[in-house]
Structure 1
Amino acid sequence: MSTPVATPAAASHGRLERLPVSMFSIVMGLAGTTIALEKAEHLWHWSVAPSLGLLVLTALVFVLISLAYLGKWVLHRPQVLAEFNHPIRLSFFPAMSIGMLLLAIAALGHAPAVSQVLWAVGATVQLLFTLVILSAWMHHEKFQVQHSNPAWFIPIVGNILVPIAGVPLGYQEISWFYFSVGLMMWTPLLAVLFNRFFFHPMLPAKLLPTLFILIAPPAVGFISWVKLHNGVVDDVARILYYFALFITLLLLSQVKHFWRLSFALPWWAYSFPMAAMTIATSVMLDTVGGGFFALLFPLLLTVLLLLVALISWRTLLAMKRGQICVPE
């Protein structure tokens, strides 16, 4: 009997079946970088606006990934449901709503009406994901301690993001609601994860980049707290910022563990947290000032831009070689 020959159409069909929901983390990284560039343009009074071009590119990437995943839902629904019932991949579904919220923040100064729609839809979907995922965590028969990982913060970080665009759009109390949920849920989850790190086997190598997600809640929490307090950097804001800075230093001191990892899609977990730390530092520079932040912000921005450029290039190269959307 002859062996069937895989056609390009069949290969494409197979890749769609294996398209991971974590692809939406690409949008998070690109959108975070866009906002960081916007901050640089504002602080340094650039005459050009590269962030606008990156915003358009990010929106296009979001649309393409959304359409692809919609195609997976239509043609391969059991595979989508299997991801949603997976103890690790479940946490990546809110990356969809976080992508919309980040696009809303980035578009705020260019298209307020579009920003408002993205914010409203993103916040609504984020709340639904949070309720569903927390319910799954509470009523389960499959979660074990080895399933806990920093990606569990993703459903929470999305809530903390809401005030960044919500306050300028005039939704103060709604923003406080989301911020409260995110902040109060972040603290016990942080304790759960440190328990796993200290007393159980380390994360699999492929998931090590997700350690950078630990930076995001305090960094984003700082930005939202300042928004909720009309731009004032108070004691609580400083605690959030400097804890985020400490986690950043802690992870950068372990760079040897990340440097030797083979490229995989989880590398995008480096991007958004570093963007959040860069943006938080720009807020400190703009409000507090001083030589320390004047040096730290361009350093972080340079690292972020090089990092995103490297990960983007490696992702495109992996796609060309057919190494994305393959069996694990």
Structure 2
Amino acid sequence: MQVAEGITTSRLAHFPITFFGVTMGIFGLALSLRAGGLEMASAFTTGIGAVVLVVLFTLYGLKSLRFPEEIAGEWSHPVRLSFFPAANISILLLSLLLQDSIPALSALLWGFGAIAQAVLTVVIVSAWISHRAFGPAILSPAWFIPAVANVIVPLGGAHLGLFAASWYFFSVGLLFWIILLTLVFNRLIFHDPLPEKLRPTLVILIAPPSVAFLAWIELNGGQIDALAQFLINIGLFFAAIVAVQIPALLRLPFAMSFWALSFPLAALTTALFRYGALGGSGASRLAGAAMLALLVATIVVLTVRTLRAVRAGGICQPE
């Protein structure tokens, strides 16, 4: 609620779609806590995330009514365009967390999220290949967000027995992860370094293979096969790549883009717990516990830094 109070009317026009990365991180933490067997903590975190999600949708809804030209500007922005599925990802993650407690609401949220994601994917990819010229400089790992959103859909779809739809989303998500991975690495290796505000998005590299692992497990009947091994090991490899970059990232001034650290860490944490449970790997469960501790610390620090930025008027400013 402090976030809502801290954003004045004069800054509402600059309330960014990227804020939904906060709820992605909170719900990701809730799923990791549940995977680690901490059900009460997961339920509490889910409640906090639901409140924050309502606040964010309320603020963004007000922005869309009062400043529709700003929404259009975000949609035309080559970086922020990729963050629109983050709002939908939050809905899909909430549906996963409500599967056991409120199954009817969970199914409703999943249905809405799946339809919205199908539409968003077509519209965003169409925008990417439209007449607008996108140069390598605007590419960043944030472009993975639409792909990640697609591989999240099967996590709920398989639970509901909707395997045909789940396979569709998994196929689309995996395809665009591979395409974008090639493009993003070309940009990272052969072009100028990412701008400071976008450097935390490097952590997003961890998310697609980690979520794809979880989705594949659901589609594959809970069996760990060669593809599952491939996906989780790619997630671990990218985690190692990111770990090398962490000291440099910590020297950067705080920006809301640092919330990009939260969901990928949560995805890998949940994947490690799931891998350990299915494969009987004590090392994976131990690694999952260590990652969970890191994730909790990360979310706490991000929350404190965000509230400080709200009080200081450092967010929702024109760029």
TM, length-normalised to structure 2 = 0.96
Contact kept in structure 2, 1:83 and 1:90, CA below 8 Å:
yes
2:238 maps to which of 203, 225, 247: 247
Match of 1:171 in 2: 162
Contact kept in structure 1, 2:32 and 2:269, CA below 8 Å:
yes
Query: How much does 1:20 deviate?
Result: 0.3
Contact kept in structure 2, 1:30 and 1:54, CA below 8 Å:
yes
Contact kept in structure 1, 2:277 and 2:285, CA below 8 Å:
no
Is 1:73 aligned to 2:69, yes or no?
no
- Separation (CA, whole Å) in 2 of partners of 1:313 and 1:107: 27
Match of 2:271 in 1: 280
Is 1:233 aligned to 2:227, yes or no?
no
Which digits, 9 at most, give the CA deviation of each residue in 1:94-142, with x for residues without a partner?
A: 1111111111111112111111011111111111111111001111323
Query: How much does 1:239 deviate?
Result: 0.1
Query: How much does 1:291 deviate?
Result: 3.0
Query: How much does 1:170 deviate?
Result: 1.5
1:190 maps to which of 181, 184, 209: 181
- Separation (CA, whole Å) in 1 of partners of 2:281 and 2:175: 32
Match of 1:35 in 2: 31
Which digits, 9 at most, give the CA deviation of each residue in 1:161-205, with x for residues without a partner?
A: 011111111111110000000001110110001100111001001
- Separation (CA, whole Å) in 1 of partners of 2:284 and 2:8: 48
Contact kept in structure 1, 2:20 and 2:56, CA below 8 Å:
yes
Map 1:202-221 → 2, pairs under 5 A: 202-221=193-212
Identity over aligned residues, as a percent?
Answer: 39
Contact kept in structure 1, 2:92 and 2:113, CA below 8 Å:
yes
Contact kept in structure 2, 1:87 and 1:142, CA below 8 Å:
no
Letter in 2 for 1:115: S
Contact kept in structure 1, 2:86 and 2:145, CA below 8 Å:
yes
Query: How much does 1:295 deviate?
Result: 1.9
Aligned-residue CA RMSD (Å): 1.2
* Consecutive aligned runs of 4 or more in structure 1 exceeding 6 Å deviation: none
Match of 2:11 in 1: 15
Partner of 1:254, secondary structure, is helix
- Separation (CA, whole Å) in 1 of partners of 2:68 and 2:133: 21
Query: How much does 1:273 deviate?
Result: 0.2
Query: How much does 1:294 deviate?
Result: 2.8
- Separation (CA, whole Å) in 2 of partners of 1:151 and 1:254: 17
- Separation (CA, whole Å) in 1 of partners of 2:131 and 2:91: 29
- Separation (CA, whole Å) in 1 of partners of 2:97 and 2:67: 33
Letter in 2 for 1:24: F
Match of 2:21 in 1: 25
- Separation (CA, whole Å) in 2 of partners of 1:53 and 1:233: 31
Which digits, 9 at most, give the CA deviation of each residue in 1:135-168, with x for residues without a partner?
A: 0111132311111111111111100001111111
- Separation (CA, whole Å) in 1 of partners of 2:115 and 2:99: 18
Is 1:307 aligned to 2:306, yes or no?
no
Query: How much does 1:241 deviate?
Result: 0.3
Map 1:95-174 → 2, pairs under 5 A: 95-174=86-165
Partner of 2:132, secondary structure, is coil
The higher radius of gyration belongs to 1
Query: How much does 1:256 deviate?
Result: 1.6
Match of 2:77 in 1: 86
- Separation (CA, whole Å) in 1 of partners of 2:101 and 2:307: 29
Partner of 1:49, secondary structure, is helix
